Chain A
């Protein structure tokens, strides 16, 4: 019989709050973000449209240039909901491309290296793991969507006065809400694909594929069935509907009759996509993979 003296002393120091531990994964994931020269150049390129738009806003208020920029009856550049819709669409497209580059590297390497047991044999849950990975995308995509959107809004407000700001504050809310919905959809699709396909390149191709296939199906349904409901499988078209609705630009017929899927349908379709991604993640993010 072995005799053991209990001489060890367990850790008795303080612990960091449990809610903050997913940030370790953010730190880990974002570390490699700027190692790729291409990604750095791409991120810089993402800031060009907001800069151009800020310049446009400035020029539209420039007293010297006013006579040249004004058409006979209206200003050449109107800083309104349509202006911000354009901003959201451009930055949304950049966000999509950035996700296709960043997303595959988040979960696929952990799965192919069998690292999940190591993450999950800590006081750290699967939800926190997904949150940690998602936070990498959330921060990167926020930097090119709603943050420059808000900067653009407040620069315009500083140029146009507080009345414009208070009158159009809902536009700022719409920019933030629209961007956050798109970030959520993109992140979940990227993480699900990254978890489902362990090969990084294939995961990247699949993320791009999801959107192209969606757009293709949309076109096919519209062409063959003469139905607008194909939009429900096209995430890009859905988010544009959401943007338009948030910015009050969604068109309805003058008679009030429904032209195609409603904004509620679009929201349900986006929620369903997110739900499917969550199910895929729940199936794949497990400490132990059983190969039958």
Chain B
């Protein structure tokens, strides 16, 4: 069975480039994506969809090698046995009901009638669309369309789930349910590769992120690890304490602290430091010297900040 050959663990991009004629898709991408939720983040045209199309074999790389759990995308019979893809755009053959839509794709994937029927209903139940499944997809709302697309991508129980902008158009409740579904899929050991523009959500969902800009991978890995690698921007740390003024005076004596700003509620201090390690050591001493520190938390090790530091300036100069 395809699944048995697709267990070797990671998705590998080995020096992969893709050009559409003279238009750059992605260039020299080297990635090793472990199971879990991986978010592809980047502005429009950065290469997110190209990367997804490459790993699903929809486009062939101009150069380099791709392996999805040990299977090359040029082997569709094997690859699509364990890969599910949810495209960014609405893509519904005309006249189908929600059930027929999911069922047809399963039949096209080679599932016999009875199994395709039960698997289709199971997927429809997962996305909570049973009542609407007998209606035509053309009459669905944007959120329902997103869910039925998601259902077709998970219906054949894939171990690699590739989702292009899957949260677009979902209302908050369904969004939360969908995110929970992704987490559940990831917990089971699947690859969940998604692209999103909603950075706060990416932060909440992802085990790792891949930041893309202009067809290049700008950064990859767990978001905190990525943040610590960015030396150009001092790390921001928010300290909740009873004497922010006194704390500011103490920390300003250090060379690595470049800025200290008292919080609007006067119960905290936001500092910027070039050496967070040194700062945390200093903070231990300060805590022992009479300033009561309630909490210490990095203020800019989220996707939003990393995106802003790595890609935002590039975007601004365009």
Distance in Å: Cβ of B9 to nearest Cβ of chain A:
10
Given contacts A8-B157, A11-B111, A13-B115, are A2 and B186 in contact (CB under 8 A)?
yes
List B64-122 residues whose CB lies under 8 Å from chain A.
Answer: 76-77, 80-83, 85, 87, 89-96, 104-105, 107-112, 115, 119
Given contacts A16-B110, A121-B85, are A28 and B53 in contact (CB under 8 A)?
no
Binds B, one of A83-91, A111-119, A168-176: A111-119
Distance in Å: Cβ of A112 to nearest Cβ of chain B:
10
Distance in Å: Cβ of B304 to nearest Cβ of chain A:
20
Tell me which of A118, A124, A287, A292 contacts B23 (CB under 8 A): A292
Binds A, one of B55-63, B265-273, B288-296: B55-63
**B107 / chain A contacts, CB cutoff of 8 Å:** 16, 21, 24
**A256 / chain B contacts, CB cutoff of 8 Å:** none
Q: B57–A121 contact, CB under 8 A?
A: yes
Q: A7–B188 contact, CB under 8 A?
A: yes
In the bound assembly, the distance between CA atoms of A11 and B234 in angstroms comes to 49
Given contacts A8-B159, A13-B115, A15-B111, are A113 and B93 in contact (CB under 8 A)?
yes
In the bound assembly, the distance between CA atoms of A5 and B94 in angstroms comes to 40
Given contacts A7-B188, A15-B111, A114-B87, are A122 and B58 in contact (CB under 8 A)?
no
Q: B188–A5 contact, CB under 8 A?
A: yes
In the bound assembly, the distance between CA atoms of A105 and B3 in angstroms comes to 36
**B6 / chain A contacts, CB cutoff of 8 Å:** 10
Q: A10–B80 contact, CB under 8 A?
A: no
**B264 / chain A contacts, CB cutoff of 8 Å:** none
Q: A8–B188 contact, CB under 8 A?
A: yes
Q: Is A9 an interface residue (CB 8 A)?
A: yes
Q: Is A72 an interface residue (CB 8 A)?
A: no
Given contacts A11-B1, A13-B112, A287-B58, are A113 and B76 in contact (CB under 8 A)?
no
Q: Is A12 an interface residue (CB 8 A)?
A: yes
Q: B92–A113 contact, CB under 8 A?
A: yes
Q: Is A219 an interface residue (CB 8 A)?
A: no
In the bound assembly, the distance between CA atoms of A33 and B91 in angstroms comes to 21
In the bound assembly, the distance between CA atoms of A123 and B6 in angstroms comes to 15
In the bound assembly, the distance between CA atoms of A25 and B93 in angstroms comes to 10
In the bound assembly, the distance between CA atoms of A32 and B207 in angstroms comes to 45
User: Which of chain B's residues has its CB closest to A123's CB?
Assistant: B77
Q: Is A163 an interface residue (CB 8 A)?
A: no
In the bound assembly, the distance between CA atoms of A109 and B110 in angstroms comes to 24
Distance in Å: Cβ of B203 to nearest Cβ of chain A:
14
**A113 / chain B contacts, CB cutoff of 8 Å:** 90-94
**A12 / chain B contacts, CB cutoff of 8 Å:** 1, 3
**A117 / chain B contacts, CB cutoff of 8 Å:** 53, 58, 85, 87, 91
Given contacts A2-B207, A32-B95, are A118 and B87 in contact (CB under 8 A)?
yes
**A2 / chain B contacts, CB cutoff of 8 Å:** 36, 186, 207
Q: Is A82 an interface residue (CB 8 A)?
A: no
Given contacts A117-B58, A121-B57, A121-B80, are A9 and B104 in contact (CB under 8 A)?
no
Greatest chain A CB density within 10 A among B3, B95, B109, B111 is at B109
Q: Is B152 an interface residue (CB 8 A)?
A: yes
Q: A122–B53 contact, CB under 8 A?
A: no
Q: B105–A4 contact, CB under 8 A?
A: no
User: Which of chain A's residues has its CB closest to B185's CB?
Assistant: A8
Count residues of B near A (Cβ-Cβ below 8 Å). 54
Q: B104–A28 contact, CB under 8 A?
A: yes
Q: B89–A114 contact, CB under 8 A?
A: yes
Given contacts A24-B108, A122-B105, are A10 and B1 in contact (CB under 8 A)?
yes
In the bound assembly, the distance between CA atoms of A11 and B91 in angstroms comes to 25
Q: B152–A118 contact, CB under 8 A?
A: yes
Distance in Å: Cβ of B210 to nearest Cβ of chain A:
15
Q: A31–B95 contact, CB under 8 A?
A: yes
In the bound assembly, the distance between CA atoms of A124 and B80 in angstroms comes to 9
List A50-108 residues whose CB lies under 8 Å from chain B.
Answer: 105
Greatest chain A CB density within 10 A among B35, B90, B187 is at B187
Q: Is A162 an interface residue (CB 8 A)?
A: no
Greatest chain B CB density within 10 A among A11, A21, A32 is at A11
**A37 / chain B contacts, CB cutoff of 8 Å:** none
**A124 / chain B contacts, CB cutoff of 8 Å:** 76, 80, 108-109
Map CB proximity to B onto A131-158 as digits: 1 under 8 Å, 0 otherwise. 0000000000000000000000000000
Q: A121–B56 contact, CB under 8 A?
A: yes
Q: A288–B59 contact, CB under 8 A?
A: yes
Greatest chain B CB density within 10 A among A2, A6, A28, A116 is at A2
Q: Is A18 an interface residue (CB 8 A)?
A: yes
**B188 / chain A contacts, CB cutoff of 8 Å:** 4-8
**A210 / chain B contacts, CB cutoff of 8 Å:** none
**A251 / chain B contacts, CB cutoff of 8 Å:** none
**B105 / chain A contacts, CB cutoff of 8 Å:** 118, 122
Q: Footprint of A on B, CB under 8 Å?
A: 1-4, 6, 20-21, 23, 35-36, 53, 56-59, 76-77, 80-83, 85, 87, 89-96, 104-105, 107-112, 115, 119, 152, 156-159, 185-190, 207, 222
| 16 CB < 8 A contacts A-B | A4-B188, A7-B187, A7-B189, A10-B157, A12-B3, A15-B110, A15-B111, A18-B77, A18-B110, A24-B104, A105-B94, A117-B53, A117-B87, A118-B152, A120-B58, A288-B59
Q: Footprint of B on A, CB under 8 Å?
A: 1-2, 4-16, 18, 21, 24-25, 28, 31-32, 105, 109-110, 113-125, 287-288, 290, 292
Q: What 5 pairs across the A-B complex have the smallest Cβ distances? A: A10-B3, A6-B189, A287-B58, A15-B110, A115-B91
Extra contacts, 5 of them, besides A8-B190, A116-B91 (Cβ < 8 A), are A7-B187, A16-B110, A105-B94, A118-B85, A287-B58
